[in-house]
Amino acid sequence: MRVSTEVADALADGRPVLALESTIFTHGLPRPRNFEVASEAEEGLRSAGVVPATIGVVDGEPTVGMSSDEIKRLSEDDSVVKVSQRDLPIAAAKKLNGGTTVAATAYLAHFAGVRVFSTGGLGGVHRGASETFDESADLGTLAKVPIVVVSAGVKSILDIPLTLERLETLNVPVVGFRTTDYPGFFVSDSGYDIEYRVESAEEVAAIAKQRDAMGLTSTVLVANPVAADKQLDPELHAKVLAEAIEASHKAGIIGNDTTPFLLDYIQRETGGKSLEVNIEVYRGNVALGGQIAKALLAS
């Protein structure tokens, strides 16, 4: 693993660092918005006094703190692969370029000593998992990596109540940022509740500090909803989601093809509105993650 000089120096000096994933610009957003959003996130953090640590795999080398040139290169690479935690040794041996998922990013961030990671939406339990056993590797990793992860819940295309049940079983604490309504990524309220809320970045830092003192090893998961005035219209969201699921069944879409099919359908049928919500979600989570990174150092 390679840690950039900027990130290594910040960690050594006790300055705040925030980990960022790379699948958002390798697989999640269209060109050229993908590079623009990734660059904007890094610039915003630096202006707030936080060092960005964008994580990806470059020519087989897991990298914590990608350069702007490396981000641009991967954002334009048609052959870039999606790398989860299990794929890291394969990508390394084959010298691949890879965008890291939540699982791989969280693992590499912790391995490098970065304590906070902001993403968009988590992976979770898929609809129909009682028959397919389709569950994201993100959940298993979050149960074993003691960092703080900020997300806007899980994508609404997933089985949200079962995902929350799995997080409980895996002993992953979930707190809502100024809410007990669990967010559904495109919408601020998925319709499901969580037990605890926090009011500030400092309160998140206090929870993480207590977790560490108790020797617990799971992620503190912060659910940060998109602002109500920035969300996808809930009625439109429910309608298009139902149509997307029905279309996937008719087309015989299964396995790893399901998520990209559903998200692409939703983007088309909302006239690109879901894409703009996706970007707003990410901006909000990056900003909050930066605040938490600062609060952790002050606690």
Strand partners, 99: 56, 82
> Is residue 73 within 8 Å of 38, Cβ to Cβ?
no
CA gap 234, 46 in Å, rounded: 34
Crossing angle of helices 68-75 and 33-47, rounded to 10°: 160
- Is residue 155 part of the annotated active site? The answer reads yes
Report the alpha-carbon distance of residue 116 to residue 139 in Å, rounded.
17
Going from the C-alpha of 142 to that of each of 30, 108, 157, 200, 264, the distances in angstroms are 28, 12, 20, 22, 27
Residue 21 known to be catalytic? yes
Residue 290 near residue 18 (C-beta atoms within 8 A): yes
Residue of 181, 124, 169 lying closest to 149 (CA atoms): 124
75 vs 70: CA distance, rounded Å: 8
How many angstroms separate the most distant Cα atoms in the chain?
56
Choose the catalytic residue: 21, 42, 70, 280: 21
Contact 120, 34 (CB under 8 A): no
Structure tokens, 295: 């609060």
The single residue of 42, 82, 135, 155 carrying the catalytic annotation is: 155
Which one-letter amino acid corresponds to residue 6?
E
Hey, which residues are catalytic here? Answer: 21, 155
